[in-house]
Structure 1
Amino acid sequence: MVLKTQGGARCLAVIATALLAGGAAPASVGAQGGAALVVAQAVAVSALDPAGSSGRPVSPAESEAAFLIYDGLVRFTDEMSIVPELAASWSVDPDGRAWTFKIRRGVTFQDGTPLTAQAVVATLDRVINPATNTSNRTLWDPIASVSALDAATVRVLTKEPYGTLLNTLAQGSALIASPAAVERWGAEYRLHPVGTGPYAVDRWDLGTQLDLVPHRQFWDGRPGFDRIVLRTVPDPATRVAVLQSGQAQVAEGIPTESVDALRRAPGVTVIVRPALRTFGMGINLNRPALQDIRVRQALNYAVNKQLLVQALFQGNAAVLRSPLALRTSGYADVAAWPYDPPKARMLLETAGWKPAPPIGVRVKDGRSLQITLLTPQGAFPHDVEIVETLADYLRNVGFEPHFTYVEPAALPDHLLVPPDQSTWDLAFFGFGPSNGDGGDHLDALYRSNPDRQHRPRAWNFTWYSNPLVDAWLAEGTRAVDPRVRDAVYAKVERQVWTDAPYLWLYADSVVVATRGAQGVEVLPIALTILKHAHP
């Protein structure tokens, strides 16, 4: 494998220019003259260790690359059903705590070492260990231990019944890595990934392009392409252009305003999949003014969410009616927050915030109703445009909004801090459960943080806390029967919706366009799976 570092944004701009100028080789021709698949991704692939040793959240682009290099014990279909992969079969004991997996025989890692139960245990031990894996703790903390019963049998023991274990094992951090490669490379393993998947790393220009070639001993048949090139193309318009010109066969993160034109383009297929990712403005509950539920309710009544969604997403998003997106497991339809500016103003009046002439900003006890809106620039579709539009709605009912803009990579550094270090009042954020489970979504955002001296335990950066919600979340995690779990989570959704720790907005869609590529799977967890793709 060839590993190179590149010059960041300037290099990306040069590559985009070269693509549009026709500087790339035809995408249908690989390095040795075979069929190649070029994928235009929005974000660079900069680490490929499933255990998250890079110490930061894994991007969708990195997950998509990882699913080409690695396999898991089980996997999701594009409809989020769970099917076998490296586990040929499994069973669970009646107590719901002990799970036994039979490992597929005759599977080889890309470094030539065999897949065994011991290799699976080594991978899962790394991801269970919080010293190794600081991400996805809500998924892995319920597991007590993993052991090899023999060379082809793995037992997973959970601390309590854990009904969504299979969802967790289908998620990206559960992909199985070569223990020999992990030992060889140590802390640098994230740059030298080795799995059992259909493709292996051939060349990696960090920050710009990742080239993959077939794993010739792949256990599930010959891979569909002789080369896959994952190319970083940050600008959405450029991604559309390279697809239309035939220089890429897959383009991700297609802007909704380009969907209709691409659908009319010869040879182009547009895949629109309603996603499990919800968007809103997280409300900083450490701020005295925002601790008043009437102020938080006023925020939700002040915004015409339906008009916002229609104008920006042309029907490819849906206004939220619950803290979860519609197709998430455990979803309960609670209600929409209607657009009602008079009610928003009444709530603010009742809370003691009175309009002060001449500009109408509300004041209370000599303080104006100022709020700082934090938005990333380009982390999510239309993020800046959405937040600046929200500011107009909030001014209309008496808030005085100000803005803080951050680069996408810096967003977690502003959110995941102790409460006395936060510098914002409302923060634009999108979250979806990477394991497809609504319970994980609710747990990550709404379970109380254990203390106020450290960063949030997962993504509860609003510092929301409700003992009833905590108890229900624990009950739902223990429930093995999906019907029981869904009923418990419905109570969580109704309570959180009433407490309003967010200005809730919408659930988006994943939009991917293809040209001359078949077998591309788009999952509602905002993930494009290419391991079964072929010309």
Structure 2
Amino acid sequence: MFARLMRAVAFAAIASPALAAQDSIILGMVLEPPNLDPTGGAAAAIDEVVYANLFEGLTRIAPDGSVQPALAESWDISGDGSVYTFRLRPGVTFHDGSAFDAQDVIFTLDRARAPDSTNAQKTLFEGISTVEAIDPHTVRIALKSPDGALPFKLAWGDAVMVEQANIGDIASHPVGTGPFRFGEWKQGDHITLTAYDGYWGEKPALKTATFRFISDPTAAFAAIMAGDIDAFPIYPAPETLAQFQADPRFRVLVGTTEGETILAMNNARPPLDDLRVRKAISHAINRQEIIDGAMFGYGTPIGTHFAPHSPDYIDLTAESQHDPELAKSLLAEAGADRLTLRLALPPTPYARRGGEIVAAELRAVGIDTRITNMEWSQWLEQVFGNADYDLTIISHVEPMDIGIYGREDYYFNYDNPAFREVMAELDAATAPATRSTLLKQAQEIIARDQVNAYLFQLAKTGVARAELQGLWENAPMPANDLTQVRWAE
């Protein structure tokens, strides 16, 4: 009996190595981040590693989507909404042991809004007029006009606090103030973070966290089943979720994300500069067919760039319902009934699977596509950076990011002064009712202009070991916040 028991224990240790160490975790990720600087890169995979773990902002997004204090313990707003005074937490240090204070806030925000800034969300900071230190733990931010959304904007990964002394190495060896510090990065394989003993707040239960990069859905399934991965927060093979749901060793997490998945169009490139052509493409798309075929039923149809779980969302799917005959007539009217368009696909499974379905639907109305499968770095440079594309499929996972349609240099190349005017009014509005009205107007404008073909809101489908607690079920931010993650005792 004793021998059999010992063999069973030995087998369990082999079959489930991660459970042998109750203070470590191995998470799977589809995409490897191109660098580890959330203030200088657009890839969501950066935030999925560093947000709330390695870097922190003055404020942060909580699991329920609310804005909470972070490095600023509180703040006051002037009566006209144009001046914010942030009180910083005392005793905060960076991972190199140096103190965090008001000068770091000034450096961070001045760097983010500088003319040569490479911040992917530079517009978040355009409304700032001055940043000044009242004392080492008090910062005053004066705005060009009132902005009720400033605490939300400062909660983005693009607004985390950085240290000037280490800024030269931030992309490969980042130094932050979070509960975890950078350990190692074996490119092509994994990134490891280790607990920071000098952390100012509640110490995490985990001592080490390793992010392993597994882009192939079949390999992801095998890694979890073998015990090589403890959790895959954004699991790339939804077709196998039923197997995990039936297995008591695992827990399936199904929630919402901020990810509007779109068939993006280059609005400045003929013939996509013609509204009739963009509208034809939108009517050629069968959203449910894509959700079923590419996502195995996980996803919510959308008709504009806005999350359906938001109280300000309006359902505009009727503006672009599946209607192939209408699509054909619009193309004929535009003199564009024989088209060939380039379709650039990043490596995410939803894009690769969805791209094949989209290509077939467009072919049915007379539009041929030349598909190019791209690696993530290539997509970021060619499509996102240089707008060298016709069509692409991507999920925009940043929260409340409809304002990107007001950027004249954004890769959609959409230019509508009326939309920018609504965004300017929104920035200045503080009353919730007024902001809600303006957000609905913005949704209607881009739906009417058929800027992109709006496909579905990306569901958050994750798999984790049943004993693992504290992972986010929903994703109000592209993040794998490990601050509350622990193994059940």
- The answer, yes or no, to whether TM exceeds 0.5 is yes
Distance 1:82 1:490, change over 3 A: same
* 2:328 is the alignment partner of 1:345: yes
**Which stretch of structure 1 is more off in the superposition, 152-161 or 60-69?**
60-69
Provide the C-alpha distance between the structure 1 equivalents of 2:167 and 2:211, rounded to a whole number of angstroms.
25
Identity of aligned residues (%): 27
CA contact (8 A) 2:303 2:455 kept: no
Three-state SS of the structure 2 residue aligned to 1:195 is coil
Distance 2:358 2:33 in 1: 32
Deviation at 1:465, TM superposition (A): 1.4
1:534 aligns with 2:486: yes
- Tell me the equivalent position of 2:17: 26
- Is 1:481 matched with 2:431? yes
Q: Deviations over 1:474-507 (max 9, x none)?
A: 1111112222122112112112111112122111
CA contact (8 A) 1:43 1:232 kept: yes
How far apart are 1:153 and its partner, in Å?
A: 0.9
CA drift of 1:388 comes to 2.1
Call closer, same or farther: CA 1:156–1:343 in 2, change over 3 Å.
same
Equivalent residue, structure 2, for 1:36:
24
Shift of 1:80: 0.3
**Which residue is 1:217 aligned to?**
198
* Aligned partner of residue 53 in structure 2, secondary structure: helix
TM alignment of 1:264-283, pairs within 5 A: 264-283=246-265
Structure-2 residue corresponding to 1:6: none
SS of 1:529's partner is coil
Aligned residue for 2:171, secondary structure, equals helix
Structure 2 CA distance for aligned equivalents of residues 425 and 106 of structure 1: 51
Shift of residue 221, structure 1, vs aligned partner: 2.7
Residue of structure 1 aligned with 2:471, choices 515, 520, 523: 520
Q: 1:211: how far off?
A: 2.1
- Which residue matches 2:8? none
Report what 2:72 is aligned to.
Answer: 87
Residues 328 and 129 of structure 1: is their aligned pair in 2 closer, same or farther, counting only changes over 3 Å? farther
Rate the CA distance shift 1:27–1:475 in 2: closer, same or farther, 3 A: same
Cα distance between partner residues in 2 of 1:504 and 1:273: 20
- Asked if structure 2 preserves the Cα contact closer than 8 Å seen for 1:371 and 1:425, the reply is no
Q: Using the alignment, how far apart are the partners of 2:92 and 2:286 within structure 1?
A: 54
* Separation in 2, partners of 1:227, 1:309: 36
Counterpart contact for 1:510–1:524, Cα < 8 Å: no
Structure-2 residue corresponding to 1:372: 341
Unaligned runs of 5+ in 2: 1-12
Please, which of 212, 227, 233 is the counterpart of residue 246 of structure 1? 227
1:326 to 305, 308, 318: 308
CA 1:45–1:484: 2 relative to 1, 3 Å: same
Q: 2:393 is paired with a residue of what secondary structure?
A: strand
Moved more, 155-164 or 247-256: 247-256
Indicate whether 1:237 and 2:237 are aligned.
no
Residue 14 of structure 1 aligns with which residue? none
Alignment CA distance shift 1:146-1:310 (3 Å): same
The aligned residue for residue 456 of structure 2 is: 506
Q: In 2, Cα distance between the equivalents of 1:115 and 1:191?
A: 21
1:408 and 1:159 map into 2 onto residues whose CA distance is 37
Structure 2 partner of 1:366 = none
Say if 1:45 and 1:65, in contact at 8 Å, map to a contact too. Answer: no
Cα pair 2:281 2:362 within 8 Å, conserved: yes
Q: Is the counterpart of residue 161 in structure 1 residue 117 in structure 2?
A: no
Instruction: Give TM-score scaled by structure 2 length.
Output: 0.89
Asked if structure 2 preserves the Cα contact closer than 8 Å seen for 1:47 and 1:62, the reply is no
Return the offset for 1:96: 0.9
**1:470 to 2:431 alignment:** no
> What is the CA–CA distance in structure 2 between the aligned matches of 1:502 and 1:38, rounded to whole Å?
37
Contact 1:374–1:425 (CA under 8 A) maintained in structure 2: yes
Tell me by how many angstroms 1:149 deviates.
Answer: 0.6
The CA distance in 1 between the partners of 2:156 and 2:407, in whole Å, is: 24
Q: CA RMSD in A?
A: 2.4
Q: Secondary structure at the match of 1:278?
A: strand
Secondary structure of the structure 2 residue equivalent to 1:224: coil
**Per-residue CA shift, 1:135-180, capped at 9, x if unaligned?**
2112122222211111221111122112211111111122223x3x
Task: Map Cα deviations across residues 420-453 of structure 1 (whole Å, 9 max, x no partner).
Answer: xx3x3322222132xx22xxx2221x2251xxxx
Distance 1:46 1:349 in 2: 43
Does the 8 Å CA contact 1:298/1:343 hold for their aligned counterparts?
yes
Comparing 406-415 and 96-105, the one that deviates more: 406-415
TM-score (structure 1 length as normaliser): 0.82
